[in-house]
């Protein structure tokens, strides 16, 4: 990363953990290399880059994925198998979900887990409608798509996946040359995986900070931000809780706790109706999200600066007994 502050407030990322197509023999989302599952590694990559709005498109492993990523602030979408099992159907579902609130959307299959946060930043800065990382003239992932190209890509009905959709959309494409072999290296080859994992691990050291707001008790953090954003998008607490992997009763407990601690109504309710009533995030709720995310960025920036200052190269501290710890 450059060390320069980059804001990704209107940027999302779609991670495809379902829809195989030609890649159906690729490793699964829950496969583990070096102590981390592929899905968790991809989520952490985007979070390290500063992207918070993460959408995971799931299949049959939805429950296991929700369990593994509990507390990561991920939104879960379940692909309808009747619409096909090609990966582009997962891309289509994710893009459709994000297009209204995101001006830029990254898409990445879960079996390309070793790309760097620096590559994400390089792609984000591109003004092209579509930006693709390139390593030694090989295109890779993640791919960044601007909102103006999404509709054309979604209308594609061919058989050549995202590549064919981008080509048929006549979108402006920029290939960004990066020194990131992980962006073009799908998981699955044991020797390659362990080499990439070792390189990835050397770049992974950082201070991870979770910001919570506390009054008489903790009441606001990443999970609450994700829940409120989904309520705003969907107009329903029940649907928002399903998408975020939180039980309906727990979602209401979180909302009531935050309202009690702040003394403000954060979610407006309209009872009754055919679908059980509507919900909306109030102005106070949106302002709380804005202030929280501003605080979170400031804290993370300070943490990154102090980490680099104190640890310098970010190397591990080696114990005399041969073990490593941060």
Domain membership of residue 168 (yes or no) is yes
Tell me the C-alpha distance between 78 and 101, whole Å.
20
Is the Cβ–Cβ distance between 217 and 261 less than 8 Å?
A: yes
Both 127 and 260 in a single domain? Answer: no
Distance CA 301, CA 287 (A): 21
190 lies in a domain? yes
- Burial (Cβ within 10 Å: 0-12, 13-18, ≥19) of residue 50: buried
Predicted local distance difference test score (pLDDT) of residue 273: 53
Whole-number Å distance between alpha carbons of 200 and 115:
8
With beta carbons less than 8 A apart as the criterion, state whether 139 and 150 touch. no
pLDDT in tens, the chain (326 residues): 444 444 577 899 999 998 654 455 556 889 888 788 999 999 999 988 889 899 999 988 899 999 999 888 899 999 877 765 678 999 999 999 998 889 999 999 999 999 998 999 999 999 999 999 999 999 999 999 999 999 999 999 998 999 999 999 999 999 999 999 999 988 876 556 666 776 666 566 677 788 999 999 999 998 999 999 999 988 999 999 998 889 999 999 999 999 999 999 999 988 765 545 689 999 999 999 999 999 998 998 899 888 888 886 545 544 434 444 33
The DSSP secondary-structure symbol of 184 reads G
Q: What H or E segment, with its residue span, contains residue 219?
A: strand 218-220
Among 178, 204, 230, which residue terminates a domain? 204
Question: 170 with 250, same domain?
Answer: no
Among candidate residues 174, 189, 204, the one where a domain is terminated? 204
The string over 184-204, giving b where at least 16 C-beta atoms fall within 10 Å of a residue's C-beta and e elsewhere, is: bbbbeeeeebeebbeebeebb
For residue 301, report the phi and psi dihedrals to the nearest 5 degrees. -60, -45
Sign, CA dihedral 133-135-139-140, equals negative
Does 119 share its domain with 259? no
Question: Minimal CA–CA distance to 126: which of 153, 156, 106?
Answer: 106
Q: Which CATH number fits the domain that encloses residue 195?
A: 3.90.550.10
Q: Is residue 5 in some structural domain? A: no
CATH of the domain at 214: 1.10.10.10
What is the spatial distance between Cα 132 and Cα 126, in angstroms, rounded to a whole number? 10
Question: How far apart (Å, rounded) are the C-alpha atoms in residues 288 and 235?
Answer: 18
pLDDT of residue 213: 96
Distances 235 to 95, 215, 229, 278 between C-alpha atoms, Å: 19, 28, 10, 6
Residue (of 88, 105, 83, 79) closest to 23 by Cα position: 88
Q: How many residues make up the chain in this entry?
A: 326
Q: Is the peptide bond before 142 cis (omega within 30 degrees of 0)?
A: yes
Same domain, 185 and 250: no
Q: Is residue 6 situated within a structural domain?
A: no
Residue 2 maps to a domain: no
**Same domain? 188 vs 213:** no
**pTM of the complete model beyond 0.75:** yes
**Does any domain span residue 128?**
yes
Same domain, residue pair 240 and 278? yes
Alpha carbons within 13 A on the beta-carbon side of 134 = 11
Residues 82, 171 within the same domain: yes
| Final residue in a domain of this structure, among 176, 204, 232 | 204
Query: Which residues neighbour 323 within 8 Å (Cβ) at sequence distance 6 or greater?
Result: none
Give the Cα separation of 131 and 14 in Å (integer): 15
Pair (224, 304) in one structural domain: yes
What's phi and psi for 305, nearest 5 deg?
-65, -45
| Residue 55: inside a domain | yes
**Could you write out the three-class secondary structure of 105-172?**
EEEEECCCCCCCHHHHHHHHCCCCCEEEEEECCEECCCEEEEHHHHHHHHCCCCCCHHHHHHHHHCCC
Instruction: Give me the residues paired with residue 136 across strands.
Output: none
User: Is 3 inside any structural domain?
Assistant: no
Domain match, 194 and 105 both: yes
Q: Total domain count for the chain?
A: 2
Q: Please tell me the predicted confidence (pLDDT) of residue 106.
A: 97
For residue 241, the enclosing domain spans: 209-326
Element (H, E) at 32: strand 32-33
Task: Output the pLDDT for position 2.
Answer: 42
Pair (177, 231) in one structural domain: no
Same domain, 187 and 254: no
Residue 28: the pLDDT is: 83
Q: Are residues 19 and 129 in the same domain?
A: yes
Among 103, 126, 314, which residue's Cα sits nearest to residue 207?
314
């Amino acid at each position: 990363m450059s060390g320069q502050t980059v804001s990704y407030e209107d940027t999302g990322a779609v991670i495809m953990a379902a829809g195989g197509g030609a890649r159906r023999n690729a490793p699964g989302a829950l496969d583990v290399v070096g102590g981390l599952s592929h899905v968790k590694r991809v989520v952490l990559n985007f979070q390290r880059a500063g992207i918070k709005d993460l959408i995971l498109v799931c299949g049959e492993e939805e429950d296991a994925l929700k369990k593994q990523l509990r507390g990561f602030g991920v939104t879960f979408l379940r692909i309808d198998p009747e619409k096909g099992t090609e990966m582009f159907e997962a891309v289509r579902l994710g893009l459709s979900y994000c297009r209204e609130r995101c001006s830029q959307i990254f898409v990445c299959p879960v079996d390309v887990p070793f790309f760097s946060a620096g590559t994400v930043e390089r792609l984000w800065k591109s003004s092209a409608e579509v930006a693709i990382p390139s390593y030694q003239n090989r295109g890779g992932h993640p791919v960044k798509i601007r909102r103006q190209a999404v509709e054309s890509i979604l209308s594609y009905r061919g058989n050549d996946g995202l590549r064919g959709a981008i080509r048929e959309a006549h979108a402006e494409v920029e290939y960004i040359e990066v020194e990131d072999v992980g962006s073009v290296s799908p998981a699955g080859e044991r020797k390659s995986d362990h080499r990439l994992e070792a390189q990835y691990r050397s770049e992974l050291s950082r201070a991870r900070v979770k910001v919570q707001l506390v009054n008489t008790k903790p009441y606001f953090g990443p999970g609450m931000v994700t829940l409120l954003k989904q309520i705003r998008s969907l107009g329903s607490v029940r649907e928002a809780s399903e998408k975020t992997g939180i039980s309906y009763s727990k979602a209401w407990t979180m909302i009531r706790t935050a309202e009690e601690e702040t003394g403000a109504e954060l979610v407006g309710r309209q009872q009754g109706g055919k679908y059980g009533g509507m919900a909306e995030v109030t102005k106070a709720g949106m302002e709380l999200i804005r202030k929280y995310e501003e605080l979170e960025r400031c804290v993370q920036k300070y943490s990154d600066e102090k980490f680099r200052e104190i640890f310098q190269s970010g190397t591990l501290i080696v114990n005399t007994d041969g073990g490593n710890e941060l």
